[in-house]
Structure 1
Amino acid sequence: MMCRGVAGVFCITFLLVITVLSHAEPNELQLTFVGDIMAHDVNYRMQNFSLIYERVKEYFTNDDLTFGNLEFPVVDDLPFSTYPAFNVHRSYVEAALAASFEVFSIANNHSLDKGKTGVLKTLGSLLMLKEGAGGRMYYSGIRGDTSRSFTPTVIRENGFRIGFLAVTQFLNLPQPSPYIYVVDYTNPAIRARFLEEIRSLTPRFDLFILSFHGDAEYQLSPHPEKRAFFRELLEAGVGIIWGHHPHVFQPYEIVTVDGTQRLIMYSMGNFVSGQGYHGKPGDAGDRWAYTGDSVLLRVRVTKTPHGVNVVSAEPVLIALYTTPTRDIVVDRLDRLAAAPIDPSWREYYRKRLGIMTHFLENMDTYLQ
């Protein structure tokens, strides 16, 4: 049995209801998931990184935990750098923390962009960021001590003991790295070992959340083998699978396993990037336009006698907007479609709103 979280897309996208935005009650969690937080040159040239989040941070400040994928090393003694080998400074991540992000995946194909030294220095940066956040920052996916196993990060929130683990299917550099948790599900032996590991881990937590970075880029439908692997992960005890890497949004679905509802997000697309920076107002129907809009997925989780239950997953359509000062910011797509901006761009966002609303209403067709 399964249900798609499409009902309510209009009320969530168009209305800001205080009860929707409020923190969860005890034994209930309100979680928000986004996709890739990237750092192209047009992003890190901004003078004020907090502007990226300003128009949507109300969703992050009024939930229990907000999740984002950091698609770059964080090394302060190297310069900022863009594709194909990213790097940022702590200030770039501090803006996300200030906007009330708490949980980060660090395992992705760009984790090794600055080599082993970059991984180790990223860990040092994350420790300093965590200290600066008063300890309220959680991350998973890389390690500094290869003699120790990758283990889930433990998050205690609102009466829940949460296990959070982040893995990536591959790295951009050809050599393997023992510092990054790589799980290529297309390799049967690796897949079997990982599923066995997950089966041993999940009983220790009320809720187990797995971040998975992989699959082909720019595809609106998940690969059938990834779908099968994700179903196996749910059956192994994972409560929420948070997928990213394709840089475009893919469907999500709520699936009933062993009497409880669990959530799969196949790809959350881009939250912030510079991939669509050179797009034009006439490109609304172009496939590349999907790299510039996505959703915030607001997920409500409760405890039941049978275990943790994903009660709802409500999408808020978002898009990237280049301001008159050339800052790239995230805003609600419906607001941009009615904003007092250049009429040609307003029409672009109006068309994208229609396209993405249709996508959400017809997610089944992308899961065939």
Structure 2
Amino acid sequence: MKKILQLLLIIITLIGCTKKEALYVPDLLSVQRDNRKVSLVAVGDNLIHNSIYDAEERPYDFRHIYSDIKPFINEFDLAFINQETILGGTELGLSGYPRFNSPKEIGDAIIDAGFNLFSIANNHTLDKGEIGVMNALDYLDGEDIIYSGAKHSDHESSVKVFSKKGIKFGFVAYTYGTNGLPHPDGKEYLANVFSKEKAKEDIESVRDKVDIMIVSMHWGEQYQSRPNKNQVDEANYLSSLGVDIIIGHHPHVIQPIDIIETDGNKTIVIYSLGNFLSDQVGIDRLIGMAVSLEIEKNVEGLKTDIQIDNLSAKLTYRYKSDEFKILFMSDISEEILDGYLIHYKEKKDLINFYLTNIDVS
């Protein structure tokens, strides 16, 4: 009897051991999804002629110049500007054309307006020599912005890599030259002059580490409303390196926008944004554009998709009466610019010379 009871106990124990708890099995059909968006706007040449600061009292405060466009600029995550003149400061002596040096308060004003992505590579970068560049870099380093186009030393990368809302960007700025002003011996880093070899080295060093590659190009012929052969050739070359967005400036007038494809890579090319602020004369040099777009990153499981959409342009106008102001063409009237509707249509047609479907306001 005792043996029978022991046998029954063993059987009950074995049955209990074979009873398994329910295991958690993940839903293999449920794929993790993530959607991120970054908005970008870009304006052209902030070209500070001496008449702009001569119209102001000291201590300088230029914020009023940009106050009308500030609410619009602040809608964007990234706001690009070509700071055409070196921010060397009053201590170096302010100067206008042909060798510019601007007050740092200009930088204060454009940063206050919402600009946070600067190109400082242009034909005026070396106007005040090494000390001018270093003064400007020391100032910009103290601000919450990203810049490219000049460096403290050759040990720094020309390409700035940064993240915004979970999207990783590479940004580099080049100029065609420096108006014949030579770099000090061994200090080519003071102004980032374009060459295909340098661009290839710079871009390939980061291309596989970033989601979006932006290149600023100071290029083209002044006062020409169409890109020249070099611009088109360089745009296609940059596209072949995997550049997503090319932001062009220098002609001081608007040139068209295009979307090109090279070796399977699509690139938005803004050939020239035109002037933003200057005291140049002639209607074509007074009208610029603020080009905006949206970058979207979609992650679905192991697959990542990057899209650039909502490409549009908003025309700007440099107005001068007792003071300088940047206005939107959509906000002005015949009292401010005679025949402004005619000029608006001309610029709209020019911007759409290649694509025909860009919204221009």
The corresponding residue for 2:75 is 62
Q: Partners of 1:233 and 1:65 in 2: how far apart?
A: 21
The corresponding residue for 1:111 is 125
The corresponding residue for 1:21 is none
> Which of 271, 275, 278 is equivalent to 1:273?
278
Pick the structure with more strand per residue. Answer: 2
The corresponding residue for 1:205 is 210
Q: Per-residue deviation at 1:227?
A: 0.8
The corresponding residue for 1:179 is 189
Q: Partners of 1:230 and 1:199 in 2: how far apart?
A: 16
The corresponding residue for 1:92 is 106
The one-letter code matched in structure 2 to 1:318 is T
The corresponding residue for 2:241 is 236
The one-letter code matched in structure 2 to 1:198 is I
Q: Partners of 2:162 and 2:304 in 1: how far apart?
A: 21
Per-residue deviation, residues 310-347 of structure 1 (Å, max 9, x unmatched): 11310111111113x2x121111132135xx3xxx442
Residue 27 of structure 1: SS of its match in structure 2?
A: strand
Q: Per-residue deviation at 1:364?
A: 6.0
Cα contact 1:260–1:307 (8 A) shared by 2:
no
Q: Per-residue deviation at 1:258?
A: 6.7
User: Where do residues 1-368 of structure 1 align in structure 2 (5 Å cutoff)?
Assistant: 27-47=36-56, 48-76=61-89, 77-128=91-142, 130=143, 136-146=144-154, 148-177=155-184, 178-184=188-194, 190-256=195-261, 261-276=266-281, 288-304=282-298, 305=303, 307-323=305-321, 325=322, 327-337=323-333, 341=335, 345-363=336-354
Per-residue deviation, residues 20-63 of structure 1 (Å, max 9, x unmatched): xxxxx951111000001110122223434112211111221111
- For the pair shown, the structure with the greater C-alpha radius of gyration is 2
The corresponding residue for 2:26 is none
The one-letter code matched in structure 1 to 2:316 is I
Q: Partners of 1:361 and 1:101 in 2: how far apart?
A: 26
Count of residue pairs the alignment pairs up: 311
The one-letter code matched in structure 1 to 2:67 is E
Change (3 A) 1:63 1:238: same
Residue 88 of structure 1: SS of its match in structure 2?
A: coil
Q: Partners of 1:118 and 1:181 in 2: how far apart?
A: 11
Q: Per-residue deviation at 1:292?
A: 0.6
Q: Per-residue deviation at 1:244?
A: 0.7
Q: Partners of 1:74 and 1:183 in 2: how far apart?
A: 19
User: Where do 4+ consecutive residues of structure 1 move more than 6 Å?
Assistant: none
Change (3 A) 1:145 1:183: closer
Q: Partners of 2:262 and 2:137 in 1: how far apart?
A: 36
Cα contact 2:257–2:351 (8 A) shared by 1:
no
Q: Partners of 1:335 and 1:90 in 2: how far apart?
A: 29
Percent identical: 29
Change (3 A) 1:193 1:172: closer
Q: Partners of 1:204 and 1:181 in 2: how far apart?
A: 25
Cα contact 1:26–1:158 (8 A) shared by 2:
no
Residue 337 of structure 1: SS of its match in structure 2?
A: coil
Cα contact 1:317–1:334 (8 A) shared by 2:
yes
Q: Partners of 1:322 and 1:352 in 2: how far apart?
A: 18
Which structure 2 residue ranges, 5 or more long, are not aligned?
A: 1-33, 357-361
**RMSD between aligned alpha carbons?**
2.2
Change (3 A) 1:193 1:124: closer
Q: Partners of 2:85 and 2:139 in 1: how far apart?
A: 12
Change (3 A) 1:361 1:215: closer
Residue 314 of structure 1: SS of its match in structure 2?
A: strand
Per-residue deviation, residues 54-76 of structure 1 (Å, max 9, x unmatched): 11112211110100011112122
Larger RCO (CA under 8 A, 6+ residues apart): 1
Q: Per-residue deviation at 1:181?
A: 4.0
Cα contact 1:260–1:309 (8 A) shared by 2:
no
Residue 338 of structure 2: SS of its match in structure 1?
A: helix
The one-letter code matched in structure 1 to 2:42 is F
The one-letter code matched in structure 2 to 1:239 is D
TM-score for the superposition, normalised by structure 1: 0.78
